[in-house]
Amino acid sequence: MSEKRRRIDQILDPAYVVNLTGLELGELRDRRQLAADVESELSYYRRMLHGRMDLLNFELARRRGDEKRSLIEALPEILGAGERAGGQTGRVRGEFDLAFAGDGNRPIDAALQDDFLTHVYDLEVSELEDILTALTEAEREVSETRRSIQVVFDTVQQVISDRYRETVVGDLPD
């Protein structure tokens, strides 16, 4: 595999899962880990997008009169809505080699680089709705890519599981 290609492109290349049964166990584990790392990054991006979408939805509700609190007053509740019991937020690492970091032309680049939150009160409702639409599209793209990465992970995992099963069954006495 080319080291110059993005990790996400390597994983989504159909060649990534071709002839897996012929690979050494170490190579299979490396491929599985790479898929797991990229899937975790995509999960993290989704959470970031959902947080921004939640903030915009709150602000739109506030402007419709459905919410009396200010965005700042509701911020802890909005941002804490995605946390799991016990403060666990999943298996996402703290630092990433950004799978979608690029030239800013993809929806995820624009969505995560936009500083709309710094001037949300200055934006018109139509502008907020446009930003929410862009965030929704970026989230859809990330989710689809994440599902594709999960299929690759599962494929590699199945080959590893089969290999272990063959080893254990082959070692059993008759």
**pLDDT single digits (tens) 26-56:** 999 999 999 999 999 999 999 999 999 999 9
Give the mean pLDDT of 133-162. 96
The predicted pLDDT at position 167 comes to 82
43 vs 92 pLDDT, higher one: 43
The predicted pLDDT at position 114 comes to 73
Report residue 5's pLDDT band, with 50, 70 and 90 as the boundaries. Answer: confident
Q: Which residue has the tokens 């709150």?
A: 58
The closest of 133, 126, 124, 106 to 52, measured between CA atoms, is 133
Rounded distance, CA 120 to CA 59, Å? 8
The answer on pLDDT for 157 being more than 50 is yes
The predicted pLDDT at position 99 comes to 46
The answer on pLDDT for 118 being more than 60 is yes
Q: Which residue has the tokens 């009396």?
A: 68
Give the mean pLDDT of 6-29. 95
In the chain, where the domains are located: 26-84+99-165
Contact status, residue 11 vs residue 145, Cβ threshold 8 Å = no
Contact status, residue 46 vs residue 143, Cβ threshold 8 Å = yes
Count Cβ atoms below 10 Å from residue 14 Cβ, excluding itself.
7
The answer on pLDDT for 105 being more than 70 is no
**Mean pLDDT (the chain, rounded):** 84
- Per-residue pLDDT reduced to its tens digit, 48-73: 999 999 999 999 999 999 999 998 89
92 vs 159 pLDDT, higher one: 159
